[in-house]
Amino acid sequence: MSQRADESDRLRVLVCDDHALFRRGLQMVLDQEADLELVGEASDGVEVVEKAQELMPDVILMDVRMPKRSGIEAATAIKDELPHVKILMLTISDAEADLYEAIKAGASGYLLKEIPIDEVADAIRSVWAGQSRISPSMASKLLTEFAAISKASEEKPQVPTPRLTDREMEVLRLVAQGMNNRDIAKTLFISENTVKNHIRNILEKLHLHSRMEAVVYAVREKMIEIS
């Protein structure tokens, strides 16, 4: 970006990873982005909770497996105290359990460290804008997890579910495939704003707070099928 963003408009980013070399790499990336500001670093799950309360970041980049306290435990604590903060897990762990627990802890994204590092800045912006970012390989594992939830709920008595429009169901299915708003808009030939409106309506109707919660709910209630 050619012009430096106004100080107050820049997204405040806190980085938490127990590897100093990886933190340095992220710092180099963030330093090149006019609208992003690295406000602090933490090396374990205890320190990041303290730094989050001290520095009040907008977005936290966090590893899953760290000393003293895991990133998932730290995310839970941070979201309890600072619910507005967006948390983006950036990890080598491709375990389904870690992915699912991170989402339950309130993470807005789950990216593997194998992604090109220059994609991190875009991921930070998108989670701050309310989107979910999941590495494609993890999105397929998420669907597997959802399928297991759906199967486990087969014996439960069915209750009436809120009525979603056909278009809202289409959007929900694409969210379940790990698509971001831009990709959903292109697929359905509608604007990104329209996609945002549909997602907001879906969450309101289902009385939920995030895209991921909506997909889990929809699978559990058999509103969508997982192939």
What is the secondary structure of 79-91 as a DSSP string?
A: HHH-TT-EEEEEE
Mean pLDDT of the chain: 80
Question: Into which CATH architecture does domain 7-134 fall?
Answer: 3-Layer(aba) Sandwich (3.40)
- Round to whole Å and give the CA distance between 130 and 29: 22
Residue 151: helix, strand or coil by DSSP? Answer: helix
Q: Which tokens is 87 given?
A: 């948390």
Using an 8 Å Cβ cutoff, are 87 and 79 in contact?
Answer: yes
pLDDT-derived band at 3 (thresholds 50, 70, 90) equals very low
Residue in the structure block whose two tokens are 């100080």: 7
Rounded to a whole number, what is the distance in angstroms from the first to the last CA of the chain? 41
* pLDDT for the residue numbered 19: 86
Q: What is the pLDDT of residues 153-201, one digit of tens each?
A: 555 555 556 788 889 988 988 887 777 788 899 999 999 999 999 999 9
Using an 8 Å Cβ cutoff, are 36 and 88 in contact?
Answer: no
Report the side by side order of strands in the sheet with 109-112: 36-42, 11-16, 59-62, 86-91, 109-112, 133-134
User: Which stretch, 3-17, 50-64, 171-185, has highest mean pLDDT?
Assistant: 50-64
Domain ranges of the chain: 7-134, 141-220
What top-level class would CATH report for the domain 141-220? Answer: mainly alpha
Q: What is the pLDDT of residues 200-209, one digit of tens each?
A: 999 888 888 7
* pLDDT for the residue numbered 2: 39
Residue in the structure block whose two tokens are 């997602």: 199
Q: Residue 80 CB: number of other CB atoms within 10 A?
A: 11
pLDDT-derived band at 225 (thresholds 50, 70, 90) equals low
